[in-house]
Structure 1
Amino acid sequence: MIENPFVRNFVSSLSKGGKLPISFVIHLEDGSLTTIGEEKPILDIYIKNPAGRKALMSLDQLLIVEAYIKGDIDFEGDLIKAMSFQQLLSDQHILLKIGRRLKPILLGREKCNPDWISKHYDSHNIQLFAMDTDYNTYTPGIYEKDEDSLEVGAERKLDFAFQSLNLKPNDSVLDIGSGWGGFVRFAARRNIRVTGITLSNHQKQYVEDLIDKNNFDAEVKYQDFFSFQPSQKYDGIVMMGVIEDLSDYPRVMERLLNYLKPGGRVYLDFASHKESFGTHSFITKYIWPGTFRMVYMPEFIDAVKESPFEIQAIYNDRRNYYLWAKGMYERWMEKKADIIDKSNEQIWRTFRILFAATAGTMNKSSYDSTAYRVVLELPEDHKSLQ
């Protein structure tokens, strides 16, 4: 029998009479604690003030995360495994979800995209603390063993993408959403001419410095994907973790058709959800606002079928996504002091939730989400519309 009324009401509301997925400990403001569950606890929840109590009792994902970011609640322990709690919490912020879909309709996507992208990526490159140190990739690597480092996985993934495009020396590649230049440096070192486009000024400056330092045959442009008007077509295109921000798949196929030479290939990797708009409110409000959504595969496949592109390969990438996010989370935790020194604790807490939730979403017990690598090809005999 749980003695404390607040803890008793919280556990009753959370469990709804069923078994909780993990055991945990609740620490109240007065220092008292209550252990919930029969197994060894994997998480300690510290309630710091009445605002923390209110957020916890709401059983609302967004309100609980916001309380954590503000310091009204604290978490210690295995936060990745604790993400199994998501299935017991609500996420009914209808106005937030409607607003993110109406804004691009009313104002136009091209006007909205720069602010949406900069919200996450113009963060003074703070994400570098969590990434691999060789290529600074912000998408999953390919891991043959669970123990593979982020560096090993990143190089293996970049090589996989490179080989998938069937590139030859002096070919040209368009890197859409070029990030911190992972594919730029990998391809440029192999005598490929690379053009990157991004809507992050911080990333653009970082990659420009990288290009200048290494004298790469490459360039990076501040450019929206949908309005890009290149002077040439490319032998290959890479889109690593980008199509989630684009979401209008028929229009994406139309633009890719304008950018790619016949016979060329497109490499994509992305997260996917079983619902068409299955994006959590935390992601929309704090990470990727606007039309960001995990890819809904039925719509994506239909868009490819209606285009001239042919699917050459599809690979399930969920295990890689989990290991990558887990590795990012572990590095983020290790470098907490450095991150807070460069930014602030709220930023550290926000990204801690992001990395833990991503790993928790992609683990073996998740049924809602997965990830894919996809290779498309534009047939050699296709006559592009001019």
Structure 2
Amino acid sequence: MLKSSSASYIRSYDRAIRLIQRHLGDRISIPFRLQLQGCSYQFGDAPPLISFTINDRNGLAALCSFDELKFCEAYMSGSIDIEGDMLQLPGFRSILTDRHVLDYLLSRMLPLFIGQTHTNQKAIARHYERDEDFFLTFMDATRCYSQAVFERDDEKLETAQLRKLEFALSSCLVKPGDRVLDVGGGWGTFTEYAGKRGIRVTSLTISGQSEQYIKDVILKFELPCKVIYQDFFDHAATESYDAIVILGVMEHLSDYHAVMRQFRKLLKPGGRVYLDASAYREKYSKPTFISRHVFPGNHSYFCLREFIKEVDKTEFEVMSVHNDRHSYYLTCKAWAENLDAAKDVIVERWGERLYRTFRLYLWGSAHSFLNHGLEAYRVVLERPAEANLRRQ
């Protein structure tokens, strides 16, 4: 029920319905139900797949603005409730706009004023510097926070994640005793997987929570590994690495020229790079909701075309590229389902707002991968043992 039943609010409700009808016209991509003031209004001819309940004036104003960011923030604050098939929710975006040019410009300009390293630290802290138990409520036992590799849609997430980890390891052609740089160590996924095989992993992270978690993993399993609190672009090594592995971190490394320069500085001739990432065909493009509330800073989806252009300026060779779009859909869907199943625990420990924020993020991501809005790739590079004359 709405918090106010005044006549003026009833008139606002009537105006809102007329405004929505005019705005929609014939552009109803999914049938939905709207509930205001205890009344229910259906849009579309088919049975509604999703239902929105407006709880206060802020929710009504957000809906009538047709602004995607305002709509998301109204849901995050509880001014709007959403029920039904969450995988269909992003289809509602077709009637919303996302034109926050100032947010976009600020995210692009921030590194010019405070530097890329500091920008990365602030952005990573906003997303990752929270109790790791929160993330573990929706991830599987591998703790891998990037796409799994599914062979069947009905596979367990853990099975698909282990397949991806094995692919990353085997693609790099490493053996026990080899040195591997793990960029963005997360919760020690690759460190544990490779370290248990005698591979000496150096894990980089700029999250204090992540650093301590990986230290604990190394001690628990007595791994021949170490973790360093340091940005990838600042890292230097006295001895070249046999391989570099980047699981779901290329979204934070958008300066591909600098990335390739670091690869060349850190990787021995004959060494390989494995990376995977969510991707988009245009560089520096992401919804304002994501940039403001999920991944701030100049985070951007991986752009394969632009990355390959930079690779082509070097002696590095592209050994393989794999399209993981459907696998990332299945991964995000599993995460979102796990998040919903853990709702009561999450709300009790970390609050309703965090649950709602990640609910929008994970279901929205699943929808984008399913409907080709987003892409995902695994890429394997090799630095030839005898480099040709091309240089950056």
| The two structures share one fold, judged by TM-score above 0.5 | yes
CA apart distance, 1:186: 0.8
Contact 2:29 2:94 in 1 (8 A): no
Pairwise CA distance, 1:19: 3.7
Q: CA deviation at 1:86?
A: 2.1
User: Superposition pairs for residues 27-106 of structure 1, below 5 Å?
Assistant: 27-28=35-36, 30-106=37-113
1:377 corresponds to which of 373, 382, 386: 382
Deviates more, 1:192-201 or 1:31-40: 31-40
Alpha carbons 1:262, 1:383 under 8 Å: kept:
no
Q: Which residue pairs with 1:129 in the alignment?
A: 137
Residue 154, structure 1, aligned to residue 161, structure 2:
yes
- 1:205 to partner: Cα distance: 0.8
**1:118 Cα deviation after fit:** 0.8
Question: Residues 300-311 of structure 1 correspond to what in structure 2 (within 5 A)?
Answer: 300-311=307-318
Q: Distance in 1 between matches of 2:188 and 2:261?
A: 25
The structure-2 alpha-carbon separation of the partners of 1:11 and 1:145, relative to structure 1 and needing over 3 Å to count, comes to: farther
1:228 counterpart residue number:
235
Q: How does 1:1-386 map to 2 (within 5 A)?
A: 4-13=14-23, 15=24, 17-28=25-36, 30-125=37-132, 126-133=134-141, 135-363=142-370, 365-366=371-372, 368-382=373-387
Shift of 1:332: 0.1
- Deviations along 1:196-255, one digit per CA (max 9) or x if unpaired, are 001111111111111111111111111101111122211111111111111000110001
1:11 aligned partner, one-letter code: Q
Paired with 1:264 and 1:139, the residues of 2 have a C-alpha distance of: 23
Letter of the 1:9 counterpart? L
Structure 2 SS opposite 1:212: helix
- What SS is found at the alignment partner of 1:226? helix
* SS, match of residue 151 in structure 1: helix
Q: Please give the alpha-carbon distance, in whole angstroms, between the structure 1 residues aligned to 2:307 and 2:277.
A: 11
Q: AA paired with 2:387? A: H
1:12 partner amino acid: R
- Rounded to whole Å, the distance in 2 between the matches of 1:5 and 1:290 is 38
Shift of 1:264: 0.7
Work out the percentage of aligned pairs sharing the same amino acid. 37
Letter in 1 for 2:381: L
Q: In 2, Cα distance between the equivalents of 1:86 and 1:195?
A: 42
Residues 23-76 of structure 1: CA deviation (Å, up to 9, x unaligned): 111111x21111211222111101000100000111111110000111000111
> What is the one-letter code of the residue matched to 1:131?
M
Q: Shift of residue 119 of structure 1?
A: 0.6
Mapped partners of 1:257, 1:87: distance in 2: 43
Q: Measured at CA, do residues 171 and 383 of structure 1 come closer, stay the same or move farther in structure 2, by a change above 3 Å?
A: farther
Task: Write the letter of the residue equivalent to 1:280.
Answer: P
Q: Number of aligned residue pairs: give it.
A: 377
Residue 360 of structure 1 and its aligned partner are, at CA, apart by 0.9
The one-character-per-residue Cα deviations of 1:78-129 (angstroms, maximum 9, x if unpaired) are 1122212223311111111100111101221122221111110111111111
Please tell me the residue identity of whatever aligns with 1:71. Answer: G
Q: Deviations over 1:128-163 (max 9, x none)?
A: 111012x10000111111111111111011011111
Give the Cα–Cα distance (whole angstroms) in 2 for the partners of residues 185 and 360 of structure 1: 31
Could you give the per-residue CA deviations for residues 269-324 of structure 1, whole angstroms, max 9, x where no partner exists? 11111222211111111111111001222211111101221100001110011000
Q: What amino acid does structure 2 have at the position aligned with 1:379? A: P
Q: Quick one: distance in 2 between partners of 1:299 and 1:5?
A: 47
Q: Give the structure 1 partner of residue 6 of structure 2.
A: none
Give 1:265 shift.
Answer: 0.6
Q: Tell me how far 1:4 sits from its aligned partner.
A: 4.7
3-state DSSP class of the match of 1:180?
A: coil
Contact 2:89 2:364 in 1 (8 A): no
**Other structure's SS at 1:221 match:** strand
Distance 2:84 2:212 in 1: 37
**Contact 1:22–1:41 (8 Å) recurs in 2:** yes
Letter of the 1:271 counterpart: S
The 1-side partners of 2:368 and 2:378 are apart by: 17
* Letter of the 2:137 counterpart: F
* Alignment partners' CA distance in 2, 1:51 and 1:352: 20
2: CA distance, partners of 1:198 / 1:88:
39
Gaps of 5+ in 2: 1-12
Shift of 1:260: 0.7
